[in-house]
Structure 1
Amino acid sequence: MNRKAARQAIEAVHNFVLATHVRPDGDALGSLFGLARILTQMGKQAVCYLEEMPTEVHSVLAAGLRLETDIDRIHTFAGECGQDIMGICLDCGDMARLGKNGAVLREIKPFLVIDHHQGNSGFGDLHWIEPHRSSTGEMVYDLAVELGAAEELSLEAAECLYTAIVTDTGSFQYNCTSAHTLAVASRLLNRGVKPALISERLYDNASFGSLQLMQLVLSTLQTFFDDQVAVIQVSRKMLETTGTDYEDCDGLINFPRSIKGVRAAVFLKERKDDEVSVSIRAKGDCDVAWAAAQFGGGGHKNAAGFRLHGSSMEQVRDMLLPVLEQALRQGSL
């Protein structure tokens, strides 16, 4: 479907449950809260579901919105709304990424998926998917235009969508940044968004511990294939030693990515329950979504990832490197 069909579906309903993927990033939360504000502005009722409350960095975006982490309350709300309800999933590439309560959320019908991940095959009753977009936040702005809500977009909604866009474009550095992306950003600035304020909120709030963590993580730097692939990693022990959390790892992958000659950067994160999460970032024409897909993951051309259980970071690295080598030979990177 296109955004016109999405608009028609939304206009026919008064109540909404909005959700996004687990461990949401700036695009996921910015899109989620931005759309919630747009729907509220239109006189509709919107409830945002998250498995966990947003981090301190993003909590300001949710001020004044109805957030729920209790799936039972979502179930009760849906029951009270009867047939006058819609579920909307934002920035989520597949059903599994909805998390442990995805099946309950999926019971809300109709269920609309709005996303820009290229591997998304459309798991909702309705789906508006455009992989060429810079971000889901960009799509939500266009939806606001379609709904006639863009001209009166609140500053709070505009800040949410700008955060979504600036996050997923790497501050407008990635190839996914288009002329339309910059035009949308310009319109958000016209609604009062101050880029310096958003940048400070996202990137200029480091703690002393996070700098110590950066030192430890960068000490793990390794390069492969004539320095075309760079790998860093973070262990749970590093987090414990520095008194930090995974939130403090945000942005560290940009350091190996910035090395001259590096075409793809990999960040391995040791998590609880014997799980390793992998983030891959590339530049230029590098397509890392293909590499992530070999391990059941996905993402975008220049930004992708996956998770594996039952292997150490070193084992995951050793499994991933041949795939990246193959991609290098085949020209996928």
Structure 2
Amino acid sequence: MNSEDINAIKKLLSVPQKIVIVPHKNPDGDAIGSTLALWHYLQNKGQQATVISPNDYPKFLKWMPGNEYILNYEKENRQAKRKLNEASIIFTLDFNHLGRVGQLEEPLENSNAEFIMIDHHQEPSDYANITYSDVTMSSTCEMVYNFIESLGDTSDITTEIANCLYTGIMTDTGSFAFPPTTSRTHRIVANLIDKGAENSKIHNEVFNTNTPSRLHLLGCALKNLVILEEFNTVYITLSQEELDSNDFKKGDTEGFVNYGLTLNEIVFAVIFIENKEEGIIKISFRSEGDFLVNEFASSHFSGGGHNNAAGGRSNLSMQDTVSRFKSLLKNYKNKLNP
């Protein structure tokens, strides 16, 4: 963060404020971890803060300290709207376009609050009064740590804040395996452990709480895996019927797409998941090396994200979506080399 923005934020927070903190729709570990960490920090500084999530999120994230105070905009709409109307400052975390918040988009657009964005995705829009954007960062949680450090308050990082930040960094780096994980990331993680982050417990809470139905769904997904050797690509499909027959719960397919990249010579992995309620096929893209899935997603599937991890969507049927995807690969053959 530059000194001008730091000074502006210090001035804003020097007096009592009514603050709302918002993650993106279908929030993941980085989104929930960063918003709750910031919520704890602001509460401890004497600010009146509220986290409003656009919708529900996976059960394996609901152990985090402060989770019980998050308002679900879909289920607690009246209370959430009141908080938004009262807000003097709105922090938006882990997204950079208001289109990423579902039904929250309109009330945010109509708000007169000061907006502060903290995010690590590419091509940020300009809705915020103060924008802290850095695409080189491993996670928004790492950025929230930097935010607290810039304000001179690392000594105020509590065990609760440390647990939330560790969770987001761990999940968004693939347990510290993805390329944006730097030596600085590891030093921050070490500091968080020193502050009380329970790394072993966090790993168990996030990764070792499977249900039999989720493991059955994983088996179904892997059975559906198709290898396109010519393009060093794999894809997985999951129909609504397959989700329903395996008692699908939000978050159950988290990480499924990554299994494709464990295969030798595979550069590009994709999962197509049918969502009949929304009338779309949700798509997750992952890659190794220099193949930029964010560009692929934005060019063909109304999506975006990071260089090696992105998302998109299709309004076509599953069959037509997969056919379109396969037809596109010939245009990228030279870029899909291991």
Could you say whether these structures have the same fold, taking a TM-score greater than 0.5 normalized by the shorter chain as the test?
Answer: yes
Matched AA of 1:138: E
Higher mean Cα deviation, 100-109 or 265-274? 100-109
Asked if the contact 1:17–1:88 (Cα under 8 Å) also holds between the matched residues in 2, the reply is: yes
Taking the aligned partners of 2:242 and 2:279, their CA distance within structure 1 comes to: 16
Matched AA of 1:244: F
SS of the residue aligned with 1:49?
A: strand
- 1:320 counterpart = 2:325: yes
Asked if the contact 2:213–2:246 (Cα under 8 Å) also holds between the matched residues in 1, the reply is: yes
- 1:303 counterpart = 2:309: yes
Query: What TM-score comes out, normalization by structure 1 length?
Result: 0.91
Spell out, residue by residue over 1:204-258, the C-alpha distance to the aligned partner (whole angstroms, 9 max, x if none): 1111111111111111111224361110121111122122224211121121111
SS of the residue aligned with 2:289?
A: coil
Matched AA of 1:31: S
Spell out, residue by residue over 1:122-180, the C-alpha distance to the aligned partner (whole angstroms, 9 max, x if none): 33233211011111110000111112222221111111111111111111111111111
Asked if the contact 1:257–1:282 (Cα under 8 Å) also holds between the matched residues in 2, the reply is: yes
Are the structure 2 counterparts of residues 63 and 71 from structure 1 closer, same or farther at C-alpha, using a change threshold of 3 Å?
A: same
Aligned to 1:179: 183
Matched AA of 1:155: T
SS of the residue aligned with 1:151?
A: helix
Taking the aligned partners of 2:329 and 2:49, their CA distance within structure 1 comes to: 42
Q: Which runs of 5+ in 2 are unaligned?
A: none
Are the structure 2 counterparts of residues 179 and 213 from structure 1 closer, same or farther at C-alpha, using a change threshold of 3 Å?
A: same
Are the structure 2 counterparts of residues 208 and 193 from structure 1 closer, same or farther at C-alpha, using a change threshold of 3 Å?
A: same
Query: What TM-score comes out, normalization by structure 2 length?
Result: 0.90
Asked if the contact 1:71–1:101 (Cα under 8 Å) also holds between the matched residues in 2, the reply is: no
**RMSD (Å) for aligned C-alpha atoms:** 2.2
Question: Equivalences for 1:101-140 in 2 at 5 Å?
Answer: 101-106=104-109, 107-140=111-144
Taking the aligned partners of 1:166 and 1:220, their CA distance within structure 2 comes to: 28
**How much does 1:121 deviate?**
3.2
Are the structure 2 counterparts of residues 190 and 243 from structure 1 closer, same or farther at C-alpha, using a change threshold of 3 Å?
A: same
Taking the aligned partners of 2:264 and 2:3, their CA distance within structure 1 comes to: 40
Matched AA of 1:100: Q
Are the structure 2 counterparts of residues 6 and 96 from structure 1 closer, same or farther at C-alpha, using a change threshold of 3 Å?
A: farther
Q: Which runs of 5+ in 1 are unaligned?
A: none
1:192 to 196, 210, 224: 196
Higher mean Cα deviation, 49-58 or 69-78? 69-78
**How much does 1:88 deviate?**
0.8
Higher mean Cα deviation, 7-16 or 248-257? 7-16
Matched AA of 1:212: H
Taking the aligned partners of 2:11 and 2:69, their CA distance within structure 1 comes to: 20
**How much does 1:12 deviate?**
1.1
Taking the aligned partners of 2:28 and 2:51, their CA distance within structure 1 comes to: 15
Are the structure 2 counterparts of residues 139 and 247 from structure 1 closer, same or farther at C-alpha, using a change threshold of 3 Å?
A: same
Aligned to 1:97: 100
Asked if the contact 1:18–1:46 (Cα under 8 Å) also holds between the matched residues in 2, the reply is: yes
Aligned length: 329
1:74 to 69, 80, 96: 80
Asked if the contact 1:3–1:143 (Cα under 8 Å) also holds between the matched residues in 2, the reply is: no
**How much does 1:259 deviate?**
0.7
Are the structure 2 counterparts of residues 322 and 6 from structure 1 closer, same or farther at C-alpha, using a change threshold of 3 Å?
A: farther
